[in-house]
Amino acid sequence: MEMMMGRASRAKNARRLSTPIKTKPLQSFVFQPTISQPTSYQPSGRERRQREKEEGQGMAGQIGDEEFTNKHIYRFFQDKAHADALVSGKVWLSTLTKCRAYEDQFQGDSGEGTMHYQSGTISGSSQDQDFVEMARHANIGVGNNNNNIEIIDCSAKNMIPDAFVICTTEHFSPDNIGEKFGKYCVEISNPKLFFELVTANIKKHQKMYQGAWGRIIYKERKFSGRDQIPGPIGFVKPPDKYSDQREVRFIWTIQGSPPLLEPFGLNIPEVKYLCRRIDNTID
């Protein structure tokens, strides 16, 4: 009896193995989050480093044109003592959080260090590099050998939690910028060397992740579909309110992307050889 049951079981298994399995190949998929709840995605450290490198933040270095390296830039202050401090080699580092919190409409910008992407409806494959790039902006990874992919109304907001920052301008205009940001002005003669000196000293006190400097790009921070990214995150500001500032920014992110940093000062004697007061801005 036991032997007969064993043969029956083996016969049943043989029938199962010989029966063809009907399958339908997966040819496409649609990613469609709820429109009222945009996706919020926190990339891994490796993904974040790769993204920042590709989008221009990269390793410590300059954003934009190399010919700007030797031009002079200007830092305006409300307080004469603060201007004198920079000329003596004392460098004060503010933070993106502080910039977001300023109530003054010309200084404050709640969107500092953010970027918004709305996919709309886009489709493509893993062989379509433009599509892969747009999917990446939506925080969606596209694997190899995937075809007929469609992404519908995916929203993504990327943000630098906080970073150290120094804001200057390439435009010497005491009647305009001085009125809004202060009448005491310091000229910095070599912004590239200034950046390198400050970067080296930050590393003595903080575990720096990346640093960059360069002109602000005046475009909207929102982009969609197959539009190109407006610029490196942290270096894009809306043109309607801020373009006349012609800002040159220095920014440093810290390992681990801490959500809140405290401003602090550095004593860098070498900086004083790059800085001088411009006295005709005083009254």
**How confident is the model over 173-217, as pLDDT tens digits?**
766 555 666 788 999 999 999 999 999 999 999 999 999 999 999
- pLDDT-derived band at 54 (thresholds 50, 70, 90) equals very low
Residue 56 lies in a domain: yes
Name the residue with higher pLDDT: 64 or 157. 157
Q: CA–CA distance from 77 to each of 54, 94, 248, 266, 282 (Å)?
A: 35, 13, 15, 17, 11
Residue 212 lies in a domain: yes
Average pLDDT of the residues of the chain? 76
* pLDDT value at 283 more than 80: no
Residue 53 lies in a domain: yes
Residue 21 lies in a domain: no
- pLDDT-derived band at 267 (thresholds 50, 70, 90) equals very high
Residue 250 lies in a domain: yes
Predicted pLDDT of residue 57: 40
Cβ 8 vs Cβ 16: under 8 Å: no
Phi-psi region of 166 (alpha: psi -120 to 50; beta: other; left: phi over 0): beta
CA-based max dimension of the chain: 111
* Residue 239 three-state SS: helix
Residue 129 lies in a domain: no
Residue 197 lies in a domain: yes
| Domain membership of residue 49 as a residue range | 40-115+159-281
Tell me whether residue 46 is exposed, middle or buried, using C-beta atoms within 10 angstroms of its C-beta: 0 to 12, 13 to 18, 19 or more: exposed
* Total number of domains constituting the chain: 1
Predicted pLDDT of residue 136: 86
When pLDDT is averaged across residues 48-69 and rounded to a whole number, the result is 57
35 half-sphere exposure, CB direction, 13 A CA radius: 5
**What's the whole-model pTM score?**
0.72
Residue 126 lies in a domain: no
Rounded Cα distance, 256 and 13, in Å: 55
